[in-house]
Each structure stands twice: as C-alpha cells, then as structure tokens.
Structure 1
C-alpha cells in the first residue's frame, strides 16, 4: 500500500514538484531550527541589526511553505515556488558578503559562495529543467486482433 501511495504522489507531483517538495520541507525545517536552537550570529550582523535570528527564521519557514505548496501546482504555475526558494539563501549570501566587506567575518565569503552555488544555482538550474526532458521508455506492442 505505501508503494502505491508513493507512486501516485510521484505521478501527481512529477519531477519538478518533487524537487519543490524536498526544498520546501528542507527550508521549513531549517527555519524551525533557528527558532528551536538559534545558532551564533557571526557573519549575520546585517540581518541581526534589523531583528533577531528568531524573526529571520520565519523567512525560511514562510518561503519553505510556499515552495512546498507550489509543488502541487502545474508546471508553468510552479514558478512561485522557485522564487520563494531563492529568497532565503540569497538574503543569507548577501549578509555574509556584507560581513566580508565590512571585515566582521572573513570566512563569510566562502559561506556566501556556498549559498550562491549549492542553493541559488541549483534552484535556478532546476527551474529550467522541463518536466519530461527524457522520452518515455518504449513499450512493446500488444498482441491483439487484426482489424
């Protein structure tokens, strides 16, 4: 029974939807972790000068839920999920780059490049992948009565 449900969900979501669902769950969990056990603020002074990391956690959570919800939309309308998925890592990358420029956190440049490549770059690439770029496996012809 669970396999049937998984196949049905896979068929309903498609490749793009599954990617958005995984991203949405991940971003939501990441945001919740900032509320449950906030990390240090080194390198994030730009953000914490506006409000605490607990408040910034809601950016991750809301964008994660939008991304997850967009997984259930049709291809072409799921762009909202990709935009929402881009926002938190872009904000974090900007904060870390600002910390490098100001001189507060020299390691921030590497963290910013990590966010820009493994998050922003992958999301932007996935947004361009068509739902069915690989042709389906051909099925053998069924035997039947000749008409």
Structure 2
C-alpha cells in the first residue's frame, strides 16, 4: 500500500513536485517543532523575538510549508509560488542571524546565516531552475514493416 502510494506520488508530482513536497513537509515540521518545544532564549534570533514570540514566527514556517507542499500538486509553470514561499523563512532567519553578528549579539550567527543561505536558499533556487525532464527520452526503435 505504501509503495503504491509512493509510486503514484512520484509519477504524478514529477521531480519539481517531489522537491516541493519534501521542502514543504520539512518546513511544516520545523515550525511545529518551535511550537511544541519552544526555546527560552534562542541565540541569534533577537531581531525576530524582539517583535513577537518565536512560536509566532513558527507560523511563518508552517504557512510557507503548506503553500510549498500544496504547490507540489500544481502543474509545472504554476509552481513558482511554492518555490517563493520556500525561500521566505530561511531568508528571514538568515537576516536575523546576520543582524545578530553585526550587533555583536551572536558571533556564531554569520556561520548559521551562511548555512541557511547555502543549504536552504541556494538549494531552493537551484531546484526552481531544474527542468522537469532534463534527460531526453530514449530514441524510438524503428518499426518493422514495408518501406515506402
């Protein structure tokens, strides 16, 4: 049953849809994690927590994840909103960590920001440019029959 569902998803989503679904589910889980087990003093996120609680910011991850995962089921060319939604939370987190470095609040924040920019933003930007079928289909074999 699970194998059949996975096969159906793989065939109907395509490569771009698969990555959108994975990214979306990951963002939802990340956001839910902030709500279920809130951090008391999240190092480097002062720019965000000065404006509202971290559990409120978790909803940014969750909403972006829902938009991203939902976009996985759209046709190619209409899935751009999913990639854009996927970019927002890690970009906001990277800005917060860069701000923490500049203000001296969190010296390690520069490395964390680079991690968000490369492993999240960079991968999402790359995935958004991957064509659905970059490998040409195999050539068709000649049919047997009469020549014209």
TM-score (normalizing by structure 2): 0.92
Q: CA deviation at 1:24?
A: 0.3
**Residue in 1 that maps onto 2:50:** 49
> Structure 2: how far apart are the matches of 1:75 and 1:67?
13
Q: Tell me the matched-pair count.
A: 146
> Structure 1: how far apart are the matches of 2:95 and 2:134?
34
Q: CA deviation at 1:69?
A: 0.1
Q: Which runs of 5+ in 2 are unaligned?
A: none
CA RMSD across the alignment: 1.7
Q: Is 1:126 the equivalent of 2:124?
A: no
Q: 1:75-114: CA deviations, max 9, x gaps? A: 0000000000000000000000000000000000000000
> Structure 2: how far apart are the matches of 1:138 and 1:26?
38
Q: Which runs of 5+ in 1 are unaligned?
A: none
TM-score (normalizing by structure 1): 0.92
What SS is found at the alignment partner of 2:135? coil
> Structure 1: how far apart are the matches of 2:136 and 2:23?
26
> Structure 1: how far apart are the matches of 2:143 and 2:35?
57
Counterparts of 1:1-147 in structure 2, within 5 Å, are: 1-39=1-39, 40-138=41-139
Q: CA deviation at 1:56?
A: 0.2
> Structure 1: how far apart are the matches of 2:5 and 2:110?
44
